[in-house]
Amino acid sequence: MIPAPFTYHRPADIASALKILGEYGDDARVVAGGHSLIPMMKLRLTAIDHLIDLQGVESLRGIRVSGRDIRIGAMVTQAEILADRALAAAVPVLAEAALQIADPQVRNLGTIGGNVANGDPGNDLPALMQCLDATYEIEGPGGPRDVAARDFYDSAYVTARADDEILLAVRFTAPEGGAAYVKQKRKIGDYATAATAVALVKSGGKCASASIAMTNLADTPVWAQDAGAALVGTDCSPAAVKAAVAAMQEAISPVEDNRGPVDFKRHVAGRLLAEAIATAWSRA
Amino acid sequence: MNDHAPSRDERIAGLKGLGTSRRRVEDARFTQGKGNYVDDMKLPDMLFGDFVRSPYAHARVTAIDAEAAKALPGVVAVLTADDLRPLGLHWMPTLAGDKQMVLADGKVLFQGQEVAFVVATDRYAAADAVELVEVTYEELPVVTDPFKALAPDAPVLREDLQGQTEGAHGPRKHHNHIFTWEMGDEDGTEAAIADAEVVAEEMIYYHRTHPCPLETCGCVASMDKVNGKLTLWGTFQAPHAVRTVASLISGIAEHNIRVVSPDIGGGFGNKVGVYPGYICSIVASIVTGKPVKWIEDRMENLMSTAFARDYWMKGKIAATKDGKITALDCHVTADHGGFDACADPTKFPAGFFNICTGSYDIPIAHLSVDGVYTNKAPGGVAYRCSFRVTEAAYFIERMIEVLAIKLGIDAAELRAKNFIRKEQFPYHSALGWEYDSGDYHTAWDKALKAVGYDALRREQAERVAAFKRGETRKLLGIGLSFFTEIVGAGPVKNCDILGLGMFDSCEIRIHPTGSAIARLGTISQGQGHATTFAQILASEIGIPADDITVEEGDTDTAPYGLGTYGSRSTPVAGAATAMAGRKIRAKAQMIAAYLLEVHDDDVEFDVDRFVIKGAPERFKTMKEIAFASYNQAIPGLEPGLEAVSYYDPPNMTYPFGAYICVMEIDVDTGVWEIRQFYALDDCGTRINPMVIEGQVHGGATEGLAIAMGQELAYDEMGNVKTGTLMDFFLPTAVETPHYTTDHTETPSPHHPIGAKGVGESPNVGSVPAYSNAVQDAFRAFGHIHAHMPHDHARIWKIADGLGLHA
């Protein structure tokens, strides 16, 4: 559990970080909380010649809540998300999800930026960001650009972020109505066996809009557009939930691993989604 | 009166002796991070070792090129089997009478096997050099299934044993067969089963898992070339045995070897064996003349040093229609991995598995065990249990449940109907043991009452009805377990390891001012020996426990003993402590009589002093006696007050207990929640109730892990699938339930203070309780048996198989 030798960089601003990244290309990687990258390096599954630590980049910190407009700097930790009262009031489902990430020690260092940008299908926040239709602010040599969370993930660890770009922040509009994040895991500290993010709006006793995304049930987070659509116009009755679950199960493609076989994961995903819809509906 | 003379009760309390919940004296340093573990050691010029390990489970090693590694700055040496061969150390004997490669000698037999040992001036350079050693492998067919390993055309795993039809434990039937061990009456059992009114059969698999102590295995070897002495600090559960083995295989005279076990961060059987890391560190220190440290990382610990269990147990249990058990048959296929490195007493290649008749009066039984080689890591140690006892307890406690289903009667009632009765002790079991004492019915009734058993069964029936009506997706399981342990190995007449009798020892010195030091042949790994052995002694010799230092683990100072595992410390070394204390007391009596100017027979011991019989106001305290032993010329007596005892136990001890687990299970997700866990232990005389409770909490939590998810899983290529703590389940406080502990107290009739040992009971007793709870939840739907571990997916599969997801 000892990594191969590497050079450590600690730039003080984005421009410096981008410069180092540009200079070393494929041989360099940025690190935020380090909870995915450092273990991979210690296991020698990844060798990084130049590690660029973003802890010193002040501009990547800070949470901004203006009405329903939310902007969270990439280096904001899960612990900081959990501690921010304005954020919790505006987007309670974010705290609900963040609290289910690993354990307090991990949350003290783990960041929202690392969680969403690493492209690990096991991470919890990508599905929530897709559910909330978040936008990722990215900067590279060509300047800043925005990418929708729903367009960001290509396959495991492969994302729309180029190697010479850095995620700056996550931006989204706090959902109206009710939302929920429900996760099943084997133990504290584990990734999800299955998890789901649901946000829906109730109007006149009917579901006016619904968004559903799933965690760790494919090689990317899965925004299940049809599953959400199946709820719209219904009162989230058992039949509607059943249709949403069926649509979701069409969209996911879990693989067998130590958490269990495919059939099990599909079944659990369905049960969790039903629970999440019921919870979100009760909060809407 | 101004001077308060303490009352007798106050004097007893002041000793903090037997029965006191004395605070653990070890905890001050452990809770402040001030423990001293092997990896804390820093010696001048110390080098660091690291292994090149095989990525393959079965392969020929055709070439090893270490040139690039040797060229790396900081690298001092790279050892391979070729370097060890001239010393005869490329193989080493195992504790089970087999031999094991120290470094790959032409082939590898399991993933993670040691291939080369890199030695460097710092730990990082060693790790970098490991990457640079180029090993050429030629893959061979892999066998991870012990049944397939016994197929006629199975690949030959141990080419070194080819043609050898005789093993360490009798004839070998096949090239991958290690031994067959049989006990009991085969023909009689077969006849009784054939004649039985009811027979239940089941294959019970106790999966492969690992003790996974928080501190991994490791050592520091330091050869002093000036005086020829080798010092070996290490995570050893049996330091004296390690010294003897090290002497025998290295040729270094035993007096020139000093083995020290410093603080140990948990052992649970993992630290009993002798591992290639120790041998390589010693050789490297001899070669370089510098101290060499080797510490495993977590993955190496899980992949290569001693696993536990991996027993396929085929059972047949026969009974009358009304539930009186008439016979038991068990055949075990035991997967030992690539080398037989079990840590059992020599004459017991399947440990004490023949305790598998459990707590029941079974008139006739038969057991046979076949040990088999596969392409998995060697081991088979007793993970917080006496040798193979947790396997035996799980087997019989599952068979009882399976029989109860077949008979259609309540499993609690079936147990009570078959318990060995109090008046039958000492009880001779059909498979050869003499149970020392027990009162099972009293313990069982107490346990059932405590949990409100009848009400629980009613609630369970209501839950099943509600489930069938579609009102809930959760079922309720009531997991029963009644276990009998067999610990305290053991009588030298039948218990030895590599010819070393399994006695243990204690040496006591009383200092002039009335305090004392006691040294033992055992070694604590968290059990709290420094606390509890001082309590035994306090009650025996009347010196407060707070004034007694307990020291273990240094072979230069401690008396010889076989170490700590198999719950043997209290039954064996605890007995030695009491007996040594009695020798002290006998001499103290003579000194007291001399000081009081009366005959020896006219004084008697009273808590912390000797008093003149009938005149208790005339006395000498142990403090006064201690001082007198150093400054009085007493006719006929040598100065000083010291004693040593080597205790050879006349029998094992047989702790027992009743555990009940109540579990909620979600049939859709497989998620479980333990609502109640009740643990009643009878470990004979209770030395420190608080330490006992701590032991029960720890063991029951390990049992939780094992039953509910912890496993060493291999794929068909022999890759370890659960090699990190992401997948290898170690419960946190979140998963751990609240435990309610309780006790009865049935002293051992042959132990000097009646104590039986408790450290391992909760692992032995809890695993069946958890597993039975899971399986009991589905009994109403026709479920009979499913294998552990009961992780979410496997629980879901039970429900799915019963059609509960339709």
Which chain B residue's Cα is nearest to A257? B721
The answer to whether B51 faces chain A, any CB pair under 8 Å, is no
Per residue of chain A (284 residues), give pLDDT as tens: 899 999 999 999 999 999 999 999 899 999 999 999 999 999 999 989 999 999 999 999 999 999 999 999 999 999 999 999 999 999 999 999 999 999 999 999 999 999 999 999 999 999 999 999 999 999 999 999 999 999 999 999 999 999 999 999 999 999 999 999 999 999 999 999 999 999 999 999 999 999 999 999 999 999 999 999 999 999 999 999 999 999 999 999 999 999 999 999 999 999 999 999 999 999 99
Q: Is A267 within 8 Å of B796 when comparing Cβ atoms?
A: yes
Instruction: Please tell us whether the domain made up of A7-52 is placed in CATH 3.30.930.10.
Output: no
User: B276 preceded by cis ω (within 30°)?
Assistant: no
Helix (H) or strand (E) holding B181: strand B177-184
Domains of chain B: 8-35+504-647 (3.30.365.10), 38-140+216-264+271-304 (3.90.1170.50), 307-488+652-801 (3.30.365.10)
Q: Cα(A85)–Cα(A71) distance, rounded to whole angstroms?
A: 14
Active-site choice (B237, B527, B695, B775): B237
**First-residue to last-residue Cα distance in chain B:** 84
Per-residue CA distances from A11 to A94, A168, B113 (Å): 29, 14, 42
Interface A-B, measured as beta-carbon pairs within 8 A, has a size of: 66
Distance between CA atoms of B416 and B423, rounded to whole angstroms? 15
A44 to B131: CB separation less than 8 angstroms, yes or no: yes
- Interchain CB contact of A145 with B (< 8 Å): no
Tell if the CB–CB gap between A268 and B796 is shorter than 8 Å.
Answer: yes
How far does the CA of residue A48 sit from the closest CA of chain B (Å)?
14
Point out the catalytic residue in the list B22, B158, B258, B384. B384
Instruction: Give B-chain residues touching A271 at CB under 8 angstroms.
Output: 668-669
CA distance B517 to B88: 41
Q: Domain coordinates of chain A in residue numbers?
A: 7-52, 63-173, 178-283
Dihedral Cα B665, B666, B671, B673, nearest 10 deg: -40
C-alpha to C-alpha distance for A183 and A124, rounded to whole angstroms: 9
Q: Tell me the ipTM for this assembly.
A: 0.96
List the structure tokens of B92: 């080493």
Q: Does B299 touch chain A (CB under 8 A)?
A: yes
Half-sphere exposure of B393 (CA within 13 A, CB side): 34
CB contact under 8 A, A264 and B797: yes
B584, two tokens:
């002290």
Spatial separation of the C-alpha atoms in residues A178 and A195, rounded to whole Å: 17
Helix (H) or strand (E) run with residue B177 in it:
strand B177-184
The DSSP annotation for A188-202 comes to: TTPPEEEEEEEEEEE
CATH topology of domain A63-173: 3.30.465
Using the Cβ of A263 and the Cβ atoms of chain B, whether some distance falls under 8 Å is answered with yes
Q: How many helices (H) and strands (E) does chain B have?
A: 20, 35
**Residue B403 Cα to chain centre, angstroms:** 29
pLDDT score of B418: 98
Residues of B in contact with A43 (CB under 8 A): 299
Q: How far apart are CA A177 and CA A173, in angstroms?
A: 12
A182–chain B nearest CA distance, Å:
13
Strand stretches in B296-413, DSSP E: 307-319, 325-337, 365-373, 379-381
* Contact: B732, A260; criterion CB under 8 Å: no
User: Which of A191, A36, A183 lies closest to A102, judged by CA?
Assistant: A191
Residue B26 known to be catalytic:
no
Contacts of B722 in chain A (CB under 8 A): 258
Give the closest-approach CA distance of A221 to chain B in angstroms: 21
Collapsed DSSP state (helix, strand, coil) of residue B530: helix
Determine the 3-state secondary structure of A117 from DSSP: helix
Whether B212 sits among the annotated catalytic residues: the reply is no
A66 touches chain B (CB under 8 A): no
> Where are the alpha helices (H) located in B346-505, listed in sequence order?
389-407, 411-418, 440-451, 453-468
Compute the CA torsion angle B343, B348, B349, B350 (nearest 10 deg). Answer: -90
Could you tell me if A104 lies within 8 Å of chain B, comparing CB atoms?
no
Strand order through the sheet with A7-9: A7-9, A50-53, A28-31
B593: left (phi over 0), alpha (psi -120 to 50) or beta: alpha
Q: How many other C-beta atoms lie within 10 A of the C-beta of residue A253?
A: 14
Asked if A225 and A139 touch (Cβ cutoff 8 Å), the reply is: no
Distances (CA, A) of A242 to A278, B385, B547, B762: 12, 49, 71, 45
Q: What angle do CA B38, B40, B42 make, to 5 degrees?
A: 100
Q: Which residue is it, tokens 């993933």?
A: B111
The DSSP annotation for B706-717 comes to HHHT----B-TT
Give helix then strand counts, H and E, for chain A: 12, 14
Q: Which residues of B touch A267 (CB under 8 A)?
A: 668, 796, 800, 805
Count of alpha carbons within 13 angstroms of residue B275, beta-carbon side: 32
- Across the interface, do A4 and B671 touch by the CB < 8 Å criterion? no
Residue with tokens 């003579």: B590
pLDDT of residue A1: 83
Window 640-669 of B, Cβ < 8 Å to A: 668-669
What residue ranges of chain B have pLDDT lower than 70? 1-3
Which of A2, A99, A255 to mutate to test binding with chain B, by most B CBs within 10 Å of its CB? A2
Q: Rounded CA gap, B649 and B171, in Å?
A: 31
Nearest to B735 among A188, A259, A261 (CB): A188
Which pair of structure tokens corresponds to residue B33?
Answer: 């991070």
- Rounded CA-CA distance B696/B674 in Å is 16
**Which residues of chain B are within 8 Å of residue A259 when distances are taken between CB atoms?**
792-793
Q: What pLDDT is recorded for position B2?
A: 53
Establish if B554 touches chain A: CB-CB under 8 angstroms: no
Question: CA distances (Å), B304 to each of B186, B239, B371, B379, B381, in order?
Answer: 37, 21, 19, 9, 13
d(CA A126, CA B194) in angstroms, rounded, equals 63
Active-site residue, selected from the candidate residues B385, B495, B506, B683? B385
pLDDT score, position B719: 98
Per CB-CB distance under 8 Å, the chain A contacts of B801 are none
Residue with tokens 């200079």: A23
Tokens for A179, please give them: 């939302």
Distance of residue A43 Cα from the nearest chain B Cα, in angstroms: 10
Q: Do B419 and B308 touch, CB atoms closer than 8 A?
A: no
Cα B664 to its chain centre, rounded Å, is: 30
Partners of residue B727 in chain A, C-beta under 8 Å: 258
Please check whether residue B491 is in contact with residue B522, taking contact to mean a CB–CB distance below 8 angstroms.
no
Chain centroid to Cα B377, Å, comes to 19
Catalytic status, residue B237: yes
Residues of B in contact with A120 (CB under 8 A): none
Q: Does A146 touch chain B (CB under 8 A)?
A: no
The three-class DSSP label of residue B302 is helix
Q: Give the C-alpha separation, B628 to B639, whole Å.
A: 9
> What's the pLDDT at B1?
46
Question: Is B760 a catalytic site residue?
Answer: yes
Query: Looking at residue B755, what DSSP letter applies?
Result: B
Of B721, B729, B793, the CB nearest to A187: B729
Residues of A in contact with B131 (CB under 8 A): 4, 44
CATH architecture, range A178-283: 2-Layer Sandwich (3.30)
Instruction: Give, rounded to a whole angstrom, the gap between the first and last alpha carbons of chain A.
Output: 47
Burial of B472 (0-12, 13-18, 19+ CB in 10 A): middle
- Cβ-contact B775, B794 below 8 angstroms: no
Which structure tokens are listed for B274? 């002798």
Q: What number of CA atoms fall less than 13 Å from residue B621's CA on the CB side?
A: 14
For chain B, say whether A264 makes contact (Cβ under 8 Å).
Answer: yes
Query: A57: closest CA among A110, A20, A11?
Result: A11
